[in-house]
């Protein structure tokens, strides 16, 4: 008796086989897609880790700078001007102030370099070195540091006081190993005796690596690179961000609410929407050209002022806030509007009492992301003159200033590459830290507002 296979059973078996192969292929494709996604994320995280690793490896050493600890004798024979004028000895405060100014002028003209030299030689009395090479060991602002100590406390005259003086940029490079020690003397930035003395001071503890607080408290310096800091750039960025927040947030949110909730749907609003979307993709340097032409040339606002920079960054940030706010408004269920209107609420009450509060998390996130993006912009600020060297901390938004990303750009192009390459990475760490802080605040506030909603 022979087995017979019915045609229907054979067709069913073929269908099951095709389904089995199809399922196997689909499962295989799913696994491949998952692995492709995992590898893509791993590659992205790897590149980010490499980037942060390079920045941290170069920048972190800059937060510790070589410092020379000496005992400085405030020699009365070298410090001119005599005792500080006392108000009781003068008939009027104006006369007293004039005498104080003359006294400060005389003190400033004193031979402070000689006092610095004497303090350094006292740490190595048997070491023979030329005065010029000895002073190359410390920053050129050492004399001003001692002068300011005397201004603050004239009673130190004739006394020996402990002083911590920053080493020069070249000395710091030498001690940190960023300079090739195998290079011949004619290619070294320090004299042989200066290098030897620096190594000796490091061995006996006269030179130590201390945390460089001056990075956060000092302004940029070209005459004394070792004392250069970010205080001026930080305040310039702060003033600009205040201008951006004060202008971009209310204007952007109000524009988005009107376009989404109140504006009639016609060709004009469609044209406005298209232009807003296009503005979000315009290169930032175009906004810099616009700011230079309108705010500086036409309105006559001062160059290099944080106010002008804030206005330019406001124009650049507005499209981001408008688009994100409109997206948040669209995400609110229409039933909420219908329910409010059905209960007798006006259009304004519906929007501002019920709809808009639901969008606070999205609006807040868009605002902070827009501010963080503006904080890292460089190109538009260069075109409005914020790349100039500023030696003072700006006292207001109309004073000349620079910004953190512009300061990074200026340091990267400095002629003292060995020193400022590391200092540039340190500034990048500060800028990235501020951006991460802003994003962390956005995440925290968004979660809080979502829970309340």
Answer yes or no: is 20 within a domain.
Answer: no
Across 95-104, average pLDDT: 90
pLDDT of residue 130: 92
254 in Cβ contact with 326 (< 8 Å)? no
Answer yes or no: is 26 within a domain.
Answer: no
Answer yes or no: is 396 within a domain.
Answer: yes
* Whether residue 269 is found in the same domain as residue 176: no
Give the pLDDT confidence of 191-217 residue by residue, as tens digits.
899 999 999 999 999 999 999 898 898
Answer yes or no: is 31 within a domain.
Answer: no
Task: Tell me the DSSP string of 101-151.
Answer: HHHHHHHHTS-HHHHHHHHHHHHSTT----HHHHHTTB-TTHHHHHHHHHH
- Evaluate if residue 449 carries a pLDDT over 80: no
* Whether residue 411 is found in the same domain as residue 265: yes
Residue 308 pLDDT class (50, 70, 90 cuts): very high
* Whether residue 161 is found in the same domain as residue 299: no
Q: What's the pTM? A: 0.83
Residue 418 pLDDT class (50, 70, 90 cuts): low
The C-alpha atoms of residue 399 and residue 70 are separated, in whole angstroms, by: 38
Q: Which residues contact 138 (CB under 8 A, 6 or more apart)?
A: 68, 116, 120, 165, 166, 167, 168, 171
* Whether residue 137 is found in the same domain as residue 269: no
- For 297, left (φ over 0), alpha (ψ -120 to 50), or beta? alpha
Query: Residue 291 belongs to a domain with what CATH number?
Result: 1.10.3720.10
DSSP class of 191: -
End-to-end CA distance of the chain, in Å? 77
Residue 261 pLDDT class (50, 70, 90 cuts): confident
Answer yes or no: is 16 within a domain.
Answer: no
- Total domain count, the chain: 2
* Whether residue 178 is found in the same domain as residue 148: yes
Across 111-117, average pLDDT: 93
* Whether residue 193 is found in the same domain as residue 257: no
Answer yes or no: is 276 within a domain.
Answer: yes
Give the pLDDT confidence of 370-398 residue by residue, as tens digits.
888 888 888 899 888 887 777 788 888 88
* Whether residue 241 is found in the same domain as residue 140: no
Residue 1 pLDDT class (50, 70, 90 cuts): very low
Answer yes or no: is 320 within a domain.
Answer: yes
- Evaluate if residue 2 carries a pLDDT over 60: no
Report the SS3 class of residue 167.
Answer: strand
* Whether residue 251 is found in the same domain as residue 192: no
* Whether residue 295 is found in the same domain as residue 160: no
Answer yes or no: is 149 within a domain.
Answer: yes
* Whether residue 310 is found in the same domain as residue 438: yes
90 in Cβ contact with 118 (< 8 Å)? no
* Domain end point (choices 156, 177, 211): 211
Report the SS3 class of residue 318.
Answer: helix
Q: Which helix (H) or strand (E) holds 381?
A: helix 379-383
83: containing domain: 64-211
* Lowest-pLDDT choice from 11-25, 30-44, 277-291, 439-453: 11-25
Report the SS3 class of residue 65.
Answer: strand
* Whether residue 205 is found in the same domain as residue 236: no
* Whether residue 146 is found in the same domain as residue 289: no
């Amino acid at each position: 008796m022979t087995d017979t296979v019915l045609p229907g059973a054979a067709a069913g078996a073929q269908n099951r086989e095709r389904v089995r192969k199809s399922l196997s292929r689909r499962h295989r494709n799913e696994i491949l897609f998952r692995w492709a996604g995992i590898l893509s994320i791993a590659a992205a995280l790897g590149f980010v880790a490499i980037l942060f690793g390079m920045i941290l490896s170069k920048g972190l050493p800059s937060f510790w700078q070589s410092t020379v600890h000496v005992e400085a004798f405030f020699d009365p024979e070298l410090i001119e001007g005599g005792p500080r004028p006392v108000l009781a000895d003068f008939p009027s405060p104006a006369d007293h102030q004039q005498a104080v100014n003359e006294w400060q002028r005389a003190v400033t003209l004193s031979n402070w370099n000689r006092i610095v030299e004497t303090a350094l030689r006292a740490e190595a009395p048997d070491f023979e070195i030329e005065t010029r090479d000895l002073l190359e060991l410390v920053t050129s602002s050492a004399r001003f540091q001692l002068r300011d100590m005397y201004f603050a406390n004239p009673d130190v005259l004739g006394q020996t006081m402990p002083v911590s003086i920053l080493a020069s940029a070249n000395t710091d490079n030498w001690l940190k190993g960023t300079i090739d020690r195998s290079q011949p003397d004619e290619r070294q930035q320090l004299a042989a005796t200066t290098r030897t003395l620096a190594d000796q001071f490091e061995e006996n503890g006269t030179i130590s690596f201390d945390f460089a607080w001056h990075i956060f408290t000092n302004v940029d310096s070209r005459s004394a690179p070792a004392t250069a800091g970010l205080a001026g750039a930080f305040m310039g960025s702060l003033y600009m961000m205040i201008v951006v927040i004060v202008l971009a947030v209310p204007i952007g949110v109000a524009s988005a609410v009107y376009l989404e909730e109140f504006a009639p749907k016609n060709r004009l609003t469609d044209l406005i929407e298209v232009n807003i979307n296009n503005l979000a993709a315009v290169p930032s340097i175009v906004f810099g050209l616009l700011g230079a032409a309108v705010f500086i040339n036409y309105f006559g606002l001062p160059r290099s002022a944080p106010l002008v920079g804030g206005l330019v960054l406001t124009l650049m940030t507005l499209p981001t806030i408008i688009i994100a706010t409109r997206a948040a408004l669209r995400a609110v269920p229409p039933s909420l509007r219908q329910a409010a209107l059905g209960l007798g609420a006006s259009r304004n009450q519906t929007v501002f009492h019920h709809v808009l509060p639901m969008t606070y998390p999205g609006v807040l996130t868009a605002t902070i992301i827009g501010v963080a993006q503006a904080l890292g912009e460089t190109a538009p600020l260069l075109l409005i003159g914020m790349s100039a060297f500023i030696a003072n901390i700006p006292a207001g938004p109309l004073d000349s200033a620079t910004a953190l990303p512009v300061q990074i750009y200026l340091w990267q192009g400095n002629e003292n590459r060995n020193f400022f390459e590391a200092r540039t990475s340190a500034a990048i760490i500060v800028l990235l830290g501020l951006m991460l802080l802003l994003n962390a605040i956005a995440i925290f506030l968004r979660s809080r507002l979502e829970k309340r909603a």
